[in-house]
Amino acid sequence: MITILVFLLPFTDSYLEFAHSSEAEFLLYRFLSDQSPIGKKWDRYIGSDLVKGWYLHEVIKNPIIDSLLIEGLSRQVHRRHPVLALAYKRKGGISVAERLDPFSPDIPFYKLVCAISQGKLRDIVTLVQKIKEYLNDFYFQLFIVGNFLLFIYFTVFLAGIAILMVFLFRYLPVYIYNLGQYLPVPEIFRYIVAAVVILPFLFLTRNIVVVALIGAIPTLFFASRQERRWIKFILIWIILSLPVSYFVHLIVQTMRGSNKAGVIYRTLNFGYEKAIEKFHDPIAIFANAYISNLNGEWQKAESLYHRLIRIDRDDYKYLNNLGNIRFQLGDLDSAEILYRRAADLSQHSGIPFQNLANLYLKQLRFLDASRNFKIARERGAPDVDYIIDFRPPQENLWLHIFNFQFRFPFILSPYILILAIAIYILSMVISPYSVVNFCALCGGPITKESEIVDGPNHYCRGCGIKLQTARDENTRERILLQIRSRSMVWDRMRGIIFTFLLPGFAQIYSGRIGRGFLLALLPLFCYLFLYLSRPILITPYWFTPPLTSYLWRVLLPLILIPLILALIGVIGYGPRRQS
């Protein structure tokens, strides 16, 4: 993983090239030189993360627009956004990011990558210790878990695409051959019909796991016994990864602040979120009361703590924090009662004793204060001269992420379900797995009715009849050589074409499923990995883009080009089967 991170560093530099384009740089220069308005032309550039990153570094030194910059960042992007990562690539960028977001785990993460790339071993040890501290941060935990799940998510998708290619390249000839028995039309129209039936699966769903299942299930029906071992393993893997897609969705919603856990975390770390008022469970009320107290809204915080105490009268954290509010309002007698109750209920915490000792100091009761300070020290309370609030625990936020409500449109698209049932019924009628086989000489598809068996080998009708009608051994050898040479010419041409584009498909087409599967995954995975490296590896504030954009930008050409070549290759079986 470290090698991959270091390898990706030069690629991230390319994202800065647009920020240094002449027009954007000219507009920035005008803005810095005379602070004159430059019209709507700037709006086209200010929306770009690239210009924001360059702009962040260059203009932060200017006090006139410092406040404008911070206001623009808070309005346009979240603090933990790739814009900060772009600033890291220039001198002084890390200090800027630390000032804007001192608690961001982006900073030690990027420093670690830079230290590894530059070979600074001392910095690596220090930063590893720093990252260990960040492991207690809820967002950083989401970053680690989310990236791991996202890795599985996209790997399953690529596995499904690879298996679907196995189905199309290896078993489509048999499917088309049997389709011709029910459709008395020219052969080229059969391929068009098959493509129309199969390809909609890739475009009518945005769920990655569904695409993988669509590729795996038909292949399992048509595969040989040895191939089924691979496919069953991958199919089980895909089925187990169904909840992974759901968990990825929930984690993304949390990091965007769209659910309860995200709202609570953002309230505690970035400021009051109005959405927290609609949640009525204890941890949300606790977070609301805690941040209200920090903002000086003592009456609101007091009413919320009273509400929490009615829910759980034995929680010393609520009693302690309510006592702190009474202490700040000057009601020392009420605060003392609350502190005593909290101290009696707390078994290991020394914070209630610490606060009670500070109250006694204010009342000039030095003996009682000394006694409570001693208990607080024994229980590990910090040695400070001010009252301490209990902060809502972050580990409880994990319980508010995974709400197991089954949402049918998210897991499966109803259109996909209908089409899946139709294609599977059609596949069972037209191409039952018992008729699938391939000629040992020409590699053409054969059915049970047209199969000719000679020992361990299976031949199509054309090759089998030629071998059986051979007058002598020399004629048989000549026929074998002729068939093999014709097949070898096609195999070489097909191998050159497929190897030039995607090497795994040549292996899959030739029947080497395992090797071809791994090779087919390699270029697809590398392309997606580089494409996703910036939002995933540089910042925890990542998101899963919709699959539609990938189909157009990445997967569509990678799928359609091999499909066209595969159909051309499959058509080549027609005249050879007739010969």
pLDDT digits (tens, 9 = 90+) for 103-155: 555 566 666 666 666 667 777 777 777 767 767 777 777 777 776 776 666 66
In a shared domain, residues 7 and 78: yes
Task: Encode pLDDT of 208-219 as tens digits.
Answer: 555 556 556 666
Tokens of 413: 């698209």
* DSSP 8-state symbol, 579: -
Q: Is the pLDDT of residue 82 over 80?
A: no
Q: Is the pLDDT of residue 16 over 70?
A: no
- Residue 150 CA to residue 142 CA, distance in Å, equals 11
Q: 542 lies in a domain? A: yes
pLDDT value of position 184? 59
Q: 254 lies in a domain? A: no
Instruction: Count the domains in the chain.
Output: 3
Q: Is the pLDDT of residue 467 over 70?
A: yes
Strands (E) in 158-285, as ranges, are none
pLDDT value of position 473? 76
- Residue 303 CA to residue 322 CA, distance in Å, equals 9
Domain residues for the domain of 367 are 260-400
Q: What is the DSSP string of 459-490?
A: E-HHHHHHHHT-SSHHHHHHHHHHHHHHHHHH
Taking residues 428-437, report their average pLDDT.
46
- β-pairing, 437-438 vs 445-446, is antiparallel
97, 250, 226, 209: which is closest to 170 by C-alpha? 226
Angle value at C-alpha 167, between 161 and 171, nearest 5 degrees: 165
Task: Encode pLDDT of 302-316 as tens digits.
Answer: 888 888 888 888 788
- Residue 360 CA to residue 336 CA, distance in Å, equals 9
In a shared domain, residues 470 and 440: yes
Taking residues 376-390, report their average pLDDT.
81
Q: Are 124 and 88 in contact (CB under 8 A)?
A: no
- Residue 391 CA to residue 427 CA, distance in Å, equals 60
**Of the residues 367, 400, 433, the one at which a domain ends:** 400
Mean pLDDT over all residues of the chain?
61
Task: Encode pLDDT of 512-533 as tens digits.
Answer: 555 555 555 554 554 444 344 3
pLDDT bin (cut points 50, 70, 90) of residue 465 is confident
- β-pairing, 445-446 vs 452-454, is unpaired
Tokens 């469970």 found at = 281
**Of the residues 355, 380, 400, the one at which a domain ends:** 400
In a shared domain, residues 452 and 332: no
Q: 405 lies in a domain? A: no
Q: Is the pLDDT of residue 380 over 50?
A: yes
In a shared domain, residues 153 and 92: no
pLDDT value of position 140? 73
Per mean pLDDT, which of 383-387, 484-488, 532-536, 562-566 is the most reliable? 383-387
Q: Is the pLDDT of residue 339 over 70?
A: yes
Q: 227 lies in a domain? A: yes
In a shared domain, residues 233 and 264: no
In a shared domain, residues 439 and 530: yes
3-state secondary structure 338-351: HHHHHHHHCCCCCH
Q: Residue 324 carries which side chain, given as an amino acid letter? A: N
Residues 6+ apart with CB under 8 A from 354: 372, 373, 376, 381, 382, 384, 387, 388
Per mean pLDDT, which of 441-455, 488-502, 506-520 is the most reliable? 441-455
More confident residue, 175 or 255: 255
Q: Are 541 and 143 in contact (CB under 8 A)?
A: no
pLDDT bin (cut points 50, 70, 90) of residue 87 is very low
The percentage of the chain sitting over the pLDDT mark of 70, rounded to a whole number, equals: 32
pLDDT value of position 3? 28
Q: 24 lies in a domain? A: yes
More confident residue, 572 or 238: 238
More confident residue, 505 or 375: 375
Lowest mean pLDDT among 389-398, 405-414, 547-556: 405-414
- Hey, which residues does 437 pair with through a beta bridge? 446
Q: 302 lies in a domain? A: yes
Q: Are 336 and 359 in contact (CB under 8 A)?
A: yes
More confident residue, 194 or 542: 194
In a shared domain, residues 67 and 199: no
**Of the residues 104, 124, 159, the one at which a domain ends:** 104
More confident residue, 72 or 289: 289
Q: 239 lies in a domain? A: yes
- Hey, which residues does 446 pair with through a beta bridge? 437
Q: 255 lies in a domain? A: no
pLDDT value of position 167? 60
More confident residue, 535 or 194: 194
pLDDT bin (cut points 50, 70, 90) of residue 405 is very low
In a shared domain, residues 362 and 266: yes
pLDDT value of position 316? 85
pLDDT bin (cut points 50, 70, 90) of residue 32 is very low
Q: Is 121 exposed, middle or buried (0-12, 13-18, 19+ CB in 10 A)?
A: exposed
In a shared domain, residues 26 and 67: yes
Helix axes 260-270 and 138-166, enclosed angle (nearest 10): 140
561, 552, 548, 554: which is closest to 530 by C-alpha? 554
Q: What is the CATH number of the domain that holds 360?
A: 1.25.40.10
More confident residue, 498 or 115: 115
Tokens of 47: 């929306």
Lowest mean pLDDT among 256-265, 270-279, 491-500: 491-500
In a shared domain, residues 368 and 437: no
Q: pTM for this one? A: 0.49
More confident residue, 192 or 145: 145
More confident residue, 316 or 404: 316
Q: Is 184 exposed, middle or buried (0-12, 13-18, 19+ CB in 10 A)?
A: exposed
Q: Is the pLDDT of residue 367 over 80?
A: yes
Taking residues 370-376, report their average pLDDT.
87
In a shared domain, residues 273 and 387: yes
290, 314, 312, 313: which is closest to 300 by C-alpha? 290
| Long-range contacts of the stretch 495-504 (C-beta < 8 A, 24+) | 497/565, 498/562, 498/565, 501/561, 501/562, 501/565, 502/558, 502/562, 504/162
In a shared domain, residues 291 and 393: yes
Q: Is 300 exposed, middle or buried (0-12, 13-18, 19+ CB in 10 A)?
A: middle
Residues 6+ apart with CB under 8 A from 235: 213, 216, 217, 220
